[in-house]
Amino acid sequence: MKKWPRQHVRLFIALLIMLVVLVATHILFVRPLAVKVRSDRAYISNTKNELGHSGWPLDPGRLETYVQLKKTELEGGRPDGALKDKKEITGIKQKSQQILQRCTGTLSSSVKKIFETHSDFTHDVTRLDYQEEYNNLEIKLASRDIYLSESILGLGEKTQTQNIYQLVLQVWVLDKLTTLVTQSGLRVQADDKVIIQDEKGRKKPAARLQFMPVTEYRLYDEDKSPYVMAIPIRLALYGTVESLYSFLGKIQSGDNFFPVSQIQMSLVPDIRNDDTQLSVEARIIKVEIECSAFYFPTGEGSGEPVRSKPAPPKILPEGA
């Protein structure tokens, strides 16, 4: 066999090397890209079919207009192309802030009177602060013939918990609601089976006031601090229908927000026997109401930054 010239041998080796490079390039680069292109085309085709069945506009212009409309609904403002005299839309974010401000304003205003920030309140309030608040309220209510019992109320001077600030919030809720009860002309029912002693040693029936477990709402399961807290309380009251109507109005007016979740009423007959006839009238009603207060721990729900105060955030007076 005749030997190839050296130039032909070199050309053949170069050709083999090029073929190997081409095959390797196809296997390593071209083929995966071709597979990805086919996958992307199938995905785009399936997505178009799904969007076509969902009713979403496939035209980019219409879709952009729809996106802007949704952004306006979220952020608020006047829609693009709207007339100047048309009212601006209140965004969902602003509405949520207004709702949180309305729901949590009752307790947030109490915190702002004493503490610089809500973080100071949740971290710096002490058991001594709580005991001082509870004792002051206990004395105030006793002057109205309302005597607290830890066994009924679920709250007492020695109540133990890791979150002391929640106990302070419960005291403030009880103080506010009992004040509204008195202003409305209602009275708190007493439990004759639970007897306590006042400061003078006299035996008194305990008031039927009961705190229910605090409910914490979190946006995500992994959140350490709650987004919003609900502090429910059950009140057993009696009085006239007019007084009850006044009370229900007061707990939902002004800065007060104590929505009622349960209510149960019963009539107390008033029997009168005069010279002519025996009459039975229902003038007094007994009512059990369960309502809740709400607190936003970070204070963002108020919609306003917490104002700084020069005074240190303490409930107890100096030297107490």
For 285-298, the pLDDT digits (tens) are: 999 999 999 998 87
Number of Cβ within 10 Å of residue 211's Cβ equals 18
- In the predicted model, what is the mean pLDDT of residues 223-230? 84
- In the predicted model, what is the mean pLDDT of residues 233-248? 94
For 44-54, the pLDDT digits (tens) are: 888 888 888 88
Q: Is the pLDDT of residue 116 over 70?
A: yes
The residue to which tokens 């799904």 are assigned:
50
Strand, coil or helix: 218 = coil
- Average pLDDT in the chain: 83
For 30-39, the pLDDT digits (tens) are: 889 989 999 9
What pLDDT score was predicted for residue 213?
93
Distance CA 148, CA 154 (A): 10
Query: What does the chain come to in residues?
Result: 320
Query: b/e for 159-192, b at 16 or more Cβ within 10 A?
Result: beeeebbbbbbbbbbbbbbbebbeebebbbbbbe
Strand, coil or helix: 293 = strand
Number of Cβ within 10 Å of residue 142's Cβ equals 16
For 174-224, the pLDDT digits (tens) are: 999 999 999 999 999 999 999 988 777 789 999 999 999 999 988 887 777
The long-range contacts involving 167-170, CB below 8 angstroms and separated by at least 24 positions, are: 167/130, 167/134, 168/125, 168/129, 168/130, 168/133, 168/315, 169/107, 169/229, 169/231, 169/293, 169/295, 170/211, 170/214, 170/231, 170/233
Distance CA 196, CA 149 (A): 7
Helix (H) or strand (E) holding 62: helix 60-75
Beta strands 215-217 and 203-207: pairing type? unpaired
> Between the CA of residue 56 and those of 40, 51, 75, what are the distances in Å?
21, 6, 22
Distance CA 112, CA 95 (A): 23
